[in-house]
Amino acid sequence: MSEPFDRWGIRFRSVRERTNKFRIDEMAIDPDAPAPRVERFEAQLDSIADEVRAARQRGAPVVICHGAHPVKNGLGPLIGRLVKEGWLTHVATNGAGSIHDWEFAFLGASCEHVEDNVAVGEFGIWEETGAQLGLAILTGALDGLGYGESVGRMISTQRLDIPSVEELRACLASARSGRELWRVAAAADLLAVLEQASEGRAKSGRVDLPHRWKATSLQCACIEAGVPFTVHPGIGQDIVYTHPFFRGGAVGRTSMTDFLRYASAIAELEGGVYLSVGSSVMSPMIFEKSLSMARNVRLQQGGKLDEFLIVVNDLADVPWDWSKGEPPVENPAYYVRFCKSFSRMGGRMQYIGLDNRIFLQNLYARLRDS
């Protein structure tokens, strides 16, 4: 069998040297700007806004789960406004969504030129992105945080607090109970990085990390508003996994914490609204497992989890009215996997085929002006 790839041999460059496609000061959507009108969808947008408003008035949750594109499209400030004003009770995204949000907050820019950088072995080979996010997750795992909370804390506080090698060794030596043993595993991951990293690459103590554009960060908005922000990554799917500071144990601990927090949000969805925006795989997959878990427990307790609305927003023009149920197998809409998955979850589901910027701008405008 082949040996695992040794990431310590990679020569990283500073992310400040990278050419980026997007700058947050150019991309950021102003929440107070007029929303573009779309005659075809006006009635549906009115209905969705009414459902969100009614859910929050009765204390039911409104959860949004989105892919990376809403962040790249500059929607962080607008979704953050929805969080701060209490319209959203939980925000979930994939690994790339968290990375782009952090790069915008730290660098003011994100999104490299993939083809050009792969050709010279530099795609995703950026020191600050891998190192700072890796250390945020390593220290977050040690403190029992989730992935999103770990990154959000770093952006909000603009620093990392890294224990010394001696403190981590003492943690390894003194653990006795189950919780202490759980913390030992997190300490071992962080200790391995500190001991293997070359001098100056990772240091203990307080590390100040100015995030000049933190006001645009959705992760920061959530942590400061006390609203859960959960990240649901796939190991190897994001650029941070090129960096040796990204450890599978820490990623597993923090993302498992986030999945269970997300599942708790879905368990309370009765009477609420679930917004799935630009996520054709991750969102339906984590939703169906969480809903099944929640119903398992609810049914044992004599309860139910059937009254909720799922709104799926993506760009595809899907020629089917999903309120009529699942299309027949000969209809092309049957193979739109994300709609089909959500249509099987019970509750009510509707699909709106709009650019995510137009959808969320219009949704917020209706809630703001109500």
Q: For residues 201 and 197, what is the distance between their CA atoms, to the nearest angstrom?
A: 6
Binned at pLDDT 50, 70 and 90, residue 350 comes out as very high
Residue 46 has pLDDT above 90, yes or no: yes
Binned at pLDDT 50, 70 and 90, residue 179 comes out as low
Q: What is the pTM of this model?
A: 0.95
327 within 8 A of 333, measured Cβ to Cβ: yes
Q: For residues 251 and 182, what is the distance between their CA atoms, to the nearest angstrom?
A: 14
Q: What is the pLDDT of residue 321?
A: 86
The 3-class secondary structure across the chain, one letter per residue, is CCCCCCHHHCCCECHHHCCEEEEHHHHCCCCCCCCCCCHHHHHHHHHHHHHHHHHHHCCCCEEEEECCHHHHCCCHHHHHHHHHCCCCCEEEECHHHHHHHHHHHHHCEEEECHHHHHHCCCCCCEHHHHHHHHHHHHHHHHCCCCHHHHHHHHHHHCEEEECCHHHHHHHHHHCCCHHHHHHHHHHHHHHHHHHHCCCCCCCCEEEECCCCCHHHCHHHHHHHHCCCEEECCCCCCCHHHHCCCCCHHHHHHHHHHHHHHHHHHHHCCCCCEEEEECCCCHHHHHHHHHHHHHHHHHHHCCCCCCCCEEEEEECCCCCCCHHHCCCCCCCHHHHCHHHHHHHCCCCEEEEEECCHHHHHHHHHHHHHCC
Residue 193 has pLDDT above 80, yes or no: yes
Residue 286 has pLDDT above 80, yes or no: yes
Residue 259 has pLDDT above 80, yes or no: yes
Domains of the chain are 7-368 (3.40.50.10690)
Residues 6+ apart with CB under 8 A from 45: 38, 352, 359, 362, 363, 366
Q: For residues 288 and 65, what is the distance between their CA atoms, to the nearest angstrom?
A: 13
Please list, residue by residue across 12-34, b when 16 or more beta carbons sit within 10 angstroms of its beta carbon and e when fewer do.
Answer: beebeebebebbbeebbbebeee
Higher-scoring residue by pLDDT: 339, 27: 27
Residue 365 has pLDDT above 80, yes or no: yes
User: Among 69-78, 172-181, 217-226, whose mean pLDDT is lowest?
Assistant: 172-181
% of the chain surpassing 70 pLDDT: 99
Q: For residues 65 and 286, what is the distance between their CA atoms, to the nearest angstrom?
A: 10
Q: What is the pLDDT of residue 230?
A: 98
